[in-house]
Structure formats: structure tokens, C-alpha cells
Amino acid sequence: MIGKIKDLSRKDKKAFVIGEPIDHSLSPALHGFWLRQLGIDGSYEGFSVPADYLARTIYKLRDDGYAGGNVTIPHKEKVMLLCDEVSERAQKIGAVNTLVFDGDKILGDNTDAEGFAAGLGGFKPKKAMVLGAGGAARAVIVALQELGAEVYVSNRTAEKAEKLAQEFSCKTIAWENKDELSESDFLVNTTSLGMESQPELDIDIKSLPDGSVVYDLVYNPIETDLLKQAHSLGLKNISGLWMLIHQAAPGFEKWFGEKPETTQDIYDHLILELNKRGWKQA
């Protein structure tokens, strides 16, 4: 039997994520779900790319007709050098996580700040405590300041917090004093503490006022000790899985031309995916 003949003149809708390693990435599961949900004949693949091969891989993917893709650790900073244009936000954050190929042009953007902000579900922090001063903290600070929050940064390595505070005109709190939270209405963990196979984040959050919100960028396990503490204190708590979902949506829309749904369905699908991979739930 002769199968359906493929129209070779049509460019497939293809996108990618590149990083090293890439096996752990949830992005192919996330975008794959949206492609199926919207009935789009497209693909989203993960490629493990060593730093030395970054440039040639990006050029090859562009020339092979990909619409664009995501860039993750450790290439988010270096890839900026390969872009013809880098958005203002990505420049401010100092990293690119989303590429769009526009003909020969490579356009770089960073969607982490809007992904983080969307995860807040409309909450507008007034006084925010940010734990950590790495790459994720930069996107979080940009988002919080855009929402009008006064931002405090606390980091194990004080010099890194100071540097960030200077650059973004925010204040610092010594790492030893990070649980003095009575003046804050928002706490976010942007460190890798609490992540599977990492040490726990050692913090007591009971001084946070009622009505405060706690956000953990770590999503493996889904309910970190920090989120459990928040839950037991009756505080709203937000998993980093929401940031992951929301930061992915703008790229999907650019590559595949349709806005994906960022609802409980995709969240639940990712939990199923995590279960399949044997990731810890709590």
C-alpha cells in the first residue's frame, strides 16, 4: 500500500532545545503536549550540544529550516554572541533562552522574567526577598522590579549579592539573616537548594506576615521543604513548574503560530512525565 506522499516543498514546523546535558529537560514533553493538543504537525527536539559546537549547531539548525528553539544551561550567555538581535529584556537579564530564526537572522530573547511573573497569578509583591544571586535571580529581579516591588537579595556568597544589588539598585540581606522576613510579603528561592540531590534550603519562614506568597523555582521535587513550610503556615505557595510552563509559551507561539494553554492540564501532564521518570514528588 502506498502511504501518504509528503509535500517536500512544505517546511515542517520544527523547534529545538539545546543544552548540555539535555536528557533531564522537560521542554520536549511540554511542547510535545501542546503540539498534540493543538493538532499542529510539528516537532520539538532536544539536542545535547557541547560548548565548542554551539555556533555550528545553531547555524545548521537555522539552515535546516527550524523556526527557532530554546537554549538552556550552559549556553544561555554564550549564545548571545551568535544573535543578530538581542531583546532589551534579554540584555538586561544577561542571557538568552529563546531563539527565533527570521530568514538568516537569529533573534534572541529571554522569557524567564515573564514566565516567573505569570506564575504569580496576578499577585503583586511590595517587598520581595530573593534568595540567590545566580542567573535565575537576575530574571526574577527584573520581573519583580517591573511589578513595582522593592527587592532584597540574600546570597551565600555575599559579593555576588552586592554586585547584583549595585546593578539592579536593590538592597542586600546577609545570608545568616535570611529568615528575618517580618517586613516582606513575598519570598522566592532562586538557589538550587532543595533540589533533588542538593542540600536542603535551611530557612524558617514563620516570620512572614499572613497573606504573604512563597515561590520556589526548584520543581524537583514538586513540593520542596520550603513550599511545605509555606503550606503548613497557610501561605500561598507556587511551584517553579509554573514558571517553566509560562516561560515556554511565548516561544511556542512564535515558532508554531498558536498560543498554547497554560492551564492545569499541562501542569498535570508534566507531573505524569516526572512520575514516569521517577522524579521525587515530595
Which residues make up the interface to ligand NAP (CB under 6 A)? 112, 132-137, 155-157, 160, 190-193, 195, 199, 217-219, 240, 243-244, 247
* Residue 238 phi, psi (nearest 5): -125, 130
Q: Which residue has the cell 520536549?
A: 28
Residue nearest to ligand NAP (CB): 134
Integer angstrom CA distances of residue 53 from 50, 133, 195? 6, 28, 29
> Looking at beta carbons only, is 106 or 133 nearer to ligand NAP?
133
User: Rounded distance, CA 145 to CA 215, Å?
Assistant: 16
CB of 206 to ligand NAP, least distance (A): 21
Instruction: Give the number of other CB atoms < 10 A from CB of residue 41.
Output: 9
Residue 76 falls in the annotated catalytic set: yes
User: Rounded distance, CA 70 to CA 146, Å?
Assistant: 24
Integer angstrom CA distances of residue 18 from 48, 124, 229, 249? 6, 33, 35, 17
CB of 161 to ligand NAP, least distance (A): 8
Instruction: Give the number of other CB atoms < 10 A from CB of residue 88.
Output: 9
Dmax (CA) for the chain in angstroms is 72
Picking from 57, 41, 59, the residue whose alpha carbon sits closest to that of residue 257 is 41
> Looking at beta carbons only, is 68 or 119 nearer to ligand NAP?
119
User: Rounded distance, CA 88 to CA 274, Å?
Assistant: 34
CB of 7 to ligand NAP, least distance (A): 37
> Looking at beta carbons only, is 112 or 114 nearer to ligand NAP?
112
CB of 121 to ligand NAP, least distance (A): 15
> Looking at beta carbons only, is 107 or 203 nearer to ligand NAP?
203
Q: Which residue has the cell 534550603?
A: 201
Contact (CB, 8 A) for 15 and 255: yes
Which grid cell sits at 85? 538581535
CB of 61 to ligand NAP, least distance (A): 22
> Looking at beta carbons only, is 83 or 244 nearer to ligand NAP?
244
Catalytic residue, chosen from 4, 14, 76, 163, is 76
Query: Looking at the annotation, which residues are catalytic?
Result: 76
